[in-house]
Amino acid sequence: MFNVVIFGAPGSGKGTQSDKIVEKYGLVHLSTGDILRAEIAKGSEVGKIADGLISKGQFVPDDVIIAVLENAINEHPQAKGFIFDGFPRTVTQAEALDSILKKKNIRVGVMLNIDVDQNELVKRLLNRGKTSGRSDDNLITIQERINVYEQKTMPVIQFYDKQGKHVRIKGTGTLDEVFAQIEAAIDSRIS
């Protein structure tokens, strides 16, 4: 069992790199953003809570998203490991993830922090917005998402740094150049 937290600002390439990790290592990809968008499409209770918050670039409350994540983990009892994408986004969520995994006698193996500068993030997200159909890929919401990331999510880096699990990945360059750094980080930690 090897679990990866893939971390970074909106537009840093977490989803794209997660697909490559799935392909090479066979881990189960859990994206809380994807799960919430599916809940919205279903019109579930969680979807109703998430809908307005997502389009404003704000977070779903910690207790709601922690329950969503725990359920998603429990749906995959046979997993060789997980990639947590878009979670944890607050220190409270990072603590909750540790305790959820501890109950199962497993842990986070590495936290990959994909680092991309702000101008590049905005450019990528505006470009994605042309085709993504996402309610949050517009300039005003993109700026709010980046602000919220800096205020609430960046402290999560320290959390994993203290545990010796934080690895900075240079997120500019080709997909393969970024993935090569990810492979090196995983391969040096996986047993």
Unique residue bearing structure tokens 């697909």: 19
- β-strand pairing of 28-31 with 3-8: unpaired
Minimum Å gap between C-beta 60 and ligand AMP is 4
Among 4, 9, 27, 65, binds ligand AMP (CB under 6 A): 65
Stretch that binds ligand AMP, among 86-94, 120-128, 154-162, 166-174 (CB under 6 A): 86-94
Among 124, 145, 165, 166, binds ligand AMP (CB under 6 A): 145
Tokens of 23: 């392909």
Stretch that binds ligand AMP, among 40-48, 55-63, 163-171, 183-191 (CB under 6 A): 55-63
Stretch that binds ligand AMP, among 71-79, 83-91, 162-170, 177-185 (CB under 6 A): 83-91
Q: Give the separation between CA 51 and CA 166, rounded to whole angstroms.
A: 31
Q: How many CB atoms lie within 10 A of CB 187?
A: 10
Residues between 87 and 116 with contacts to ligand AMP, criterion CB under 6 A: 87, 89, 93
26, amino acid identity:
G
Residues 65, 52, 12: CA angle, nearest 5 degrees = 65
Sheet holding 166-170, edge to edge: 28-31, 82-85, 3-8, 108-115, 166-170
Task: Specify whether the CB–CB gap between 69 and 100 falls below 8 A.
Answer: yes
Among 54, 142, 169, 185, binds ligand AMP (CB under 6 A): 54
Minimum Å gap between C-beta 68 and ligand AMP is 8
Whose Cβ is closer to ligand AMP: residue 48's or residue 184's? Answer: 48
Eight-class DSSP state of 2: -
Residues that bind ligand AMP (CB under 6 A): 10, 32-33, 36, 53-54, 57-60, 65, 86-87, 89, 93, 136, 145
